[in-house]
């Protein structure tokens, strides 16, 4: 069987159709090909122009030098195509609520879904509900990107805010007794947690705007003990009031008796000094019969 005839341009590409010359083709279309290659690379790697929206910042990653320490502000920003990419972060202040109570999530609020359970210095179990308002440090956003990674807000919330807040709350509360927390030291505790939490979060390039100790819930046993104590206090106060009232009545009776005794004493003294006074009093009491009595006595 005869072998099929193979066209010459498959054997010798320089002889395609007898007229095609690759060198001449490249020389002729070199500039358009370079432009086409650049455009293709730009389209494949993304636009060199990025728009940073309100409430956002951008972190630049250079394929050669790594994460850049410059942070892109709001507005139109330019980066080197192919070499640089941009990760955008939401840097608005957010409220992080630690509570077992469900509620409708609002804009700018993240419900963490659980209260914080901890122990006091005297071993009493308590549960606290708190609100933390915080945001990333604008100028240090590159550090978060480099060390935490992922531009999703949940990333640094789950890796930093949640564990740091829980740890700091438990650490501070463990230094106070349950009676102190129940009474006047609650504000002191909130201020102390806020101060120490701000310093801790700053180390992770997060700015604490506000810390609120929303509610403190005690164990059922402790609440029962408090109620019993309050009831005993009320009963004791009632008894004290009765005692004070009876003592007042006693003092009034004594005063009245002393007054009457003094009046009698004075009358006796008057009679002793003036015997005719007794006759006068008899006259006042007996009226018309006084004359007969006086005459008999005379």
Which of 180, 203, 218 corresponds to the end of one domain? 218
Q: Are residues 100 and 214 in the same domain?
A: yes
For residue 177, with 0-12 CB atoms within 10 Å meaning exposed, 13-18 middle and 19 or more buried, which class applies? Answer: middle
Helix, strand, coil content of the chain in percent (nearest 5): 55, 20, 25
pLDDT on residue 6: 46
pLDDT on residue 194: 94
- Measured from the Cβ of residue 293, the count of other Cβ atoms closer than 10 Å reads 13
- Residue 295 to residue 270: CA distance in whole angstroms: 23
pLDDT on residue 167: 93
19: in domain:
no
Q: Are residues 110 and 202 in the same domain?
A: yes
pLDDT beneath 70, residues of the chain: 1-26, 28-29, 33, 35-47, 102-113, 150-155, 184, 220-240, 242, 268, 270-298
pLDDT on residue 81: 81
236: in domain:
yes
pLDDT on residue 239: 64
pLDDT on residue 11: 47
pLDDT on residue 123: 86
pLDDT on residue 225: 60
53: in domain:
no
Specify the DSSP element, H or E, that contains 187.
helix 186-202
Tokens 């095609």 belong to residue: 20
Spatial neighbors of 91 by CB under 8 A, at least 6 apart, are: 55, 56, 57, 135, 136, 138, 141
What is the maximum span of the chain, computed from C-alpha positions, in angstroms? 191
Question: Which residue in 120, 114, 122 sits closest to 165, CA to CA?
Answer: 114
251: in domain:
yes
User: N- to C-terminal Cα distance for the chain?
Assistant: 191
pLDDT on residue 80: 85
pLDDT on residue 99: 87
Degrees, nearest 5: CA angle 9-11-16: 15
pTM: 0.59
pLDDT on residue 212: 92
For residue 180, the enclosing domain spans 94-218
6: in domain:
no
What domain count does the chain have?
2
183: in domain:
yes
């Amino acid at each position: 069987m005869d072998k099929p005839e193979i066209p010459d341009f498959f054997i010798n590409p320089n002889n395609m159709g007898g007229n095609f010359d690759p060198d001449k083709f490249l020389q002729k279309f070199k500039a358009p090909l370079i432009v086409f290659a650049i455009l293709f690379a730009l389209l494949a790697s993304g636009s060199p122009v990025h728009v940073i929206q309100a409430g956002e910042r951008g972190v630049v990653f250079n394929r050669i030098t790594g994460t850049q320490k410059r942070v892109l502000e709001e507005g139109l920003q330019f980066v080197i195509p192919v070499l640089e990419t941009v990760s955008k972060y939401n840097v608005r202040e957010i409220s992080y609520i630690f509570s077992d109570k469900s509620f409708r999530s609002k804009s700018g609020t993240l419900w963490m879904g659980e209260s914080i359970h901890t122990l006091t210095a005297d071993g009493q179990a308590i549960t606290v509900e708190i609100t933390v308002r915080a945001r990333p440090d604008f100028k240090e956003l590159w550090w978060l990107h480099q060390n935490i990674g992922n531009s999703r807000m949940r990333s640094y919330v789950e890796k930093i805010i949640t564990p740091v807040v829980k740890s700091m709350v438990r650490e501070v509360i463990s230094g106070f007794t349950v009676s102190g927390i129940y009474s006047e030291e609650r504000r002191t505790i909130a201020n102390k947690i806020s101060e120490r939490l701000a310093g801790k979060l700053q180390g992770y390039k997060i700015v604490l705007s506000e810390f609120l100790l929303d509610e403190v819930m005690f164990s059922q046993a402790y609440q029962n003990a408090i109620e019993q104590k309050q009831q005993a206090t009320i009963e004791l106060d009632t008894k004290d009031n009765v005692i004070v009232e009876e003592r007042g009545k006693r003092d009034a009776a004594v005063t009245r008796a002393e007054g009457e005794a003094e009046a009698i004493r004075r009358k006796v003294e008057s009679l002793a000094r003036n015997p005719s006074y007794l006759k006068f009093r008899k006259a006042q009491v007996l009226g018309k019969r006084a004359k007969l009595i006086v005459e008999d006595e005379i």
